[in-house]
Amino acid sequence: MAESITIIDNRNGESIEIPLLNGGVSATEWSKLLPGVWFYDPGFMSTAACESAITYLDGDAGILRYRGYPIEQLAEQSTYLEVAYLLLYGELPTTEQYAAWKNEITSHTFIHENVRKRFLDGFHYDAHPMGMLVSAVAALSTFYLDAKEIFDPESRNKQVIRLIAKMPTLAAAAHRFSVGMPFVYPDNSLDFAENFLSMLWKVAEPRFEANPVLAHALDVLFILHADHEQNCSTTAMRVVGSSHSDPYSATAAAAAALYGPRHGGANEAVIRMLTDIASIENVPDFIATVKSGQGQRLQGFGHRVYKSYDPRAKIVKRIAYEVFEVTGKNPLLDIALELEEIALADEYFTSRHLYPNVDFYSGLIYQAMGFPLEMFTVLFSIPRTVGWLAHWQEMLDQDSKIARPRQLYIGSEPRDYVSITAR
């Protein structure tokens, strides 16, 4: 017999039996028994807002899979562009499909000159590159008017390719602007990560040769950040996309959600925290302040879903050592290791299931590679774009309803307007 839940309305004794499907119960069925009674769930802590076939995550067991493939295997054996294809189309590409896909992406890396010259150059000299990226992505919708054709498969796929291909170009342009360096055009003979590094660091050499260890590390970090099911920014993408706005506007909204320190801004916060701690001797005091609730949280620790070690954090920690072989050790590493060791042995953190998340070590890598702190969330946005788009496509194909939750009203009773002089 299929598993089910029965709920009884104690006000009138009526009951309803609802089948348990894929680990959930349909709220629509509950509502039949309880019209006008809403499920109060701030932060969507217990709400499944959709069905999805893209990413599987078991936070208690520390499992993450894209389309069924374990993240560890993808990080070890795949490439970011292959993973992007997998997330979007559901299967790993054949040799021919991969060649065509790579060709599509590399031939859409250029941005319209007006985006760079008029739009990006208009920012204030100290603009945060993430703010520039969010705005520039939104601005792209004004360059591709066909983007509104979201139910035309050809047009939709074109925008998906454009967004994935142009994200590194916009990101690099935002960085070059913020450090006063001239824009570097994409080099389509390079692969995805190498081209991005070229657009970032090229000076006067005819062709930028990225260090292969660093390019590979970046590619692995892109794989790890490509998707993470219904996180805050992906939810923003789905919510905005549910109104059928174009993918550039929806991606800009998702990127804006990623910008916050509770989400994609956390790796920047980790480096600021480690810099403030300054030395290993200060770690116990810092931990004590975190536990007292008087200071900041231990940045890069804790996760809404993972209640054990984030599987991505393990891979990032390993990659960090490979990168430090090339760049020299980030001096903040020892403080991070000490923090991790103390926190993992402390009842405050273990009882709350607080473990390092993906951001705990990724910032150390980015910093060692020479990225300024302001670029960290930008680096996250590049690969997460494919996750956002995969969810956006899935949502449109499911013919989902516009996202529109209910509320429990707690404001004042009806009252009459009082003129300003009489208040």
Interacting residue ranges for ligand ACO, rule: CB under 6 A: 262-263, 266, 290, 297-304, 352, 354, 357-359
| Backbone torsion region of residue 43, taken as left when φ is above 0, otherwise alpha when ψ lies between -120 and 50, otherwise beta | left
Give 161 or 283: the residue with its C-beta nearer to ligand ACO: 283
Give 262 or 318: the residue with its C-beta nearer to ligand ACO: 262
Give the other-Cβ count within 10 Å of 316's Cβ: 28
Angle subtended at Cα 33 by Cα 30 and Cα 37, rounded to the nearest 5 degrees: 75
Query: To the nearest whole angstrom, how small is the minimum distance from the Cβ of residue 233 to ligand ACO?
Result: 8
Angle subtended at Cα 252 by Cα 174 and Cα 257, rounded to the nearest 5 degrees: 100
Is 303 in the active site? yes
Euclidean distance between CA atoms 403 and 174, whole angstroms: 32
Query: To the nearest whole angstrom, how small is the minimum distance from the Cβ of residue 15 to ligand ACO?
Result: 33
Handedness of CA 84, 88, 93, 98 (dihedral sign): negative
Cβ(341)–Cβ(366) under 8 Å? no
Query: To the nearest whole angstrom, how small is the minimum distance from the Cβ of residue 149 to ligand ACO?
Result: 32
Query: To the nearest whole angstrom, how small is the minimum distance from the Cβ of residue 82 to ligand ACO?
Result: 22
Give 193 or 298: the residue with its C-beta nearer to ligand ACO: 298
Joined together, the tokens standing for residue 76 give: 């070890």
Give 173 or 224: the residue with its C-beta nearer to ligand ACO: 224
Which of the following is catalytic: 219, 227, 246, 359?
Answer: 359
Question: Strands 55-58 and 69-70, how do they pair?
Answer: unpaired
Contacts of 291 (CB under 8 A, 6+ apart): 346, 348
Give SS3 for 356: strand
Cβ(163)–Cβ(139) under 8 Å? no
Contacts of 121 (CB under 8 A, 6+ apart): 177
Give 165 or 274: the residue with its C-beta nearer to ligand ACO: 274
Which of the following is catalytic: 303, 346, 353, 391?
Answer: 303
Is 263 in the active site? yes
Cβ(117)–Cβ(179) under 8 Å? no
Contacts of 288 (CB under 8 A, 6+ apart): none
Looking at residue 277, the DSSP 8-state letter turns out to be H
The closest of 364, 361, 240 to 310, measured between CA atoms, is 361
Euclidean distance between CA atoms 308 and 59, whole angstroms: 7
Closest residue to ligand ACO, judged by C-beta, is: 302
Give 198 or 377: the residue with its C-beta nearer to ligand ACO: 377
Give the other-Cβ count within 10 Å of 87's Cβ: 22
Which of the following is catalytic: 58, 263, 334, 346?
Answer: 263
Query: To the nearest whole angstrom, how small is the minimum distance from the Cβ of residue 210 to ligand ACO?
Result: 25
Give 186 or 383: the residue with its C-beta nearer to ligand ACO: 383
| Active site residue ranges | 263, 303, 359
